[in-house]
Structure 1
Amino acid sequence: MGWNEFAFLLRGLQWTVALSLVGFIGGGVFGLAVALARTSGQPLLERVTAGYIGLFQGTPLLMQLFVVYYGLALIGLKLDAWVAVSIGFTLHASAFLGEIWRGSIQAVPRGQTEAANALSLHYVSRMKDVVLPQAFRISLPATVGFLVQLIKGTSLAAIVGFTELARAGNIVSNQTFKPLLVFAVVGALYFVMCWPLSLYGAHLERRFAAASR
């Protein structure tokens, strides 16, 4: 395996990073909406979003990507592989982040909300200035942990022909007939991405646990 093959793996790595960022940022935006809906106190809205979360948490990510790419094509909506996997990962991430953040919002001491109500703060101000900053801090370790899982999950994008790091490794392996070497490099690249994030998540968890004692 020479430089050209390694450069091809690095291009796959770039698409892995890009897909992870798109899924995480898009999922964060929609996940916040899901979390707010789940804690809104509106029974219908809470049931709908609970069903949404249950759907994406209860089905494999591989199947979700398959449905977005091939299922929409059956009804005449043919999407580019990049667009399809971006949509799939955004929906997937929004369900998981929405549930993580829902738990974090509900973990904020009830007295904080009661104090905000006593000050006559309206809903937007109460959430933006009182509840969400505390919930965000509580959710950080779990959010970082989910990002690690999302990065590793991008390898499933190969199901629709999207060339990210894992598929790039498969292509190089078929060309060089050195699968152990190629996938050792691929694994090392995933490790370099995920291990620092895992350490950071563990550090945040220890720090917040110490602060709460």
Structure 2
Amino acid sequence: MMGFTTWDILRGLLLATRWTLALSAGAFVGGVLAGLIVLVLRVQPHRRLAWVARIYIEIFQSTPLLMQLFLAFFAPALLGLDVPAWAAAWVALSLWTGAFLAEIWRGSVEAVPAGQWEAGGSLGMSYLEQLRHIILPQALRIAAAPALASWCR
């Protein structure tokens, strides 16, 4: 029978911590990108795009993360695709994080006074220009604390 020393166990835990931190950081970056795309769709004046983003958020917030991880790994195999475990975990965690961040950011965008939107429109800015130059910088200040709190939980 093979025995493990305390150093073997500690070394294994340190290696696992390194990969866990790398996967968490990668999922957060992917989640930020997914959340930003969903945010833009969610606050659009076009109701169909906002509806699609809302359905995405509802699905990812209302299903258990473990189920999403299983689906990300096993569902492509049903189609004959071989997905590496790390890629499946990164995709599932990024989409899950993106749903939560998009909803936090949506609340922050809606907290910006309506007069700011009107000011951007009176300057002749397009919707995306208003969002980029006027609304998002103000919403970022509002969203900083809740977004960091959701990442650290």
Same fold (TM over 0.5): yes
Pick which of 115-124 and 44-53 moved more: 115-124
1:2-55 CA distances to partner (integer Å, 9 max, x unpaired)? 233212111111111111111111110110110111100111101111111100
**Structure 2 counterpart SS, 1:129:** helix
1:78 corresponds to 2:94:
no
Higher relative contact order (CA 8 A, sep 6+): 1
Corresponding residue for residue 200 of structure 1: none
Of residues 54, 67, 73, the one that matches 2:71 is 67
Distance (Å, rounded) in 2 between the aligned partners of 1:59 and 1:120: 42
Corresponding residue for residue 42 of structure 1: 46
Of residues 101, 122, 127, the one that matches 2:126 is 122
Q: How far 1:148 moved relative to its partner?
A: 1.5
Distance (Å, rounded) in 2 between the aligned partners of 1:44 and 1:125: 21
Distance (Å, rounded) in 2 between the aligned partners of 1:66 and 1:141: 31
1:17 corresponds to 2:27:
no
1:147-194 CA distances to partner (integer Å, 9 max, x unpaired)? 113xxxxxxxxxxxxxxxxxxxxxxxxxxxxxxxxxxxxxxxxxxxxx
Query: With structure 1 as the length reference, what TM-score do the two structures score?
Result: 0.67
1:79-113 CA distances to partner (integer Å, 9 max, x unpaired)? 11111100110111111111111111111111111
Q: How far 1:122 moved relative to its partner?
A: 2.1
Distance (Å, rounded) in 1 between the aligned partners of 2:118 and 2:27: 35
Q: Within 5 Å, give how 1:91-170 maps onto structure 2.
A: 91-149=95-153
Distance (Å, rounded) in 1 between the aligned partners of 2:37 and 2:140: 14
Distance (Å, rounded) in 2 between the aligned partners of 1:122 and 1:8: 53
Distance (Å, rounded) in 2 between the aligned partners of 1:59 and 1:42: 27
Distance (Å, rounded) in 2 between the aligned partners of 1:117 and 1:65: 43
Query: With structure 2 as the length reference, what TM-score do the two structures score?
Result: 0.92
Q: How far 1:125 moved relative to its partner?
A: 2.3
Structure 2 stretches lacking a partner, 5+ long: none
Distance (Å, rounded) in 2 between the aligned partners of 1:144 and 1:3: 34
Q: Match for 2:97: what amino acid? A: A
Percent identity, aligned pairs only?
41
Distance (Å, rounded) in 1 between the aligned partners of 2:126 and 2:54: 25
Corresponding residue for residue 198 of structure 1: none
Distance (Å, rounded) in 2 between the aligned partners of 1:8 and 1:58: 34
Distance (Å, rounded) in 1 between the aligned partners of 2:117 and 2:47: 20
Pick which of 60-69 and 97-106 moved more: 97-106
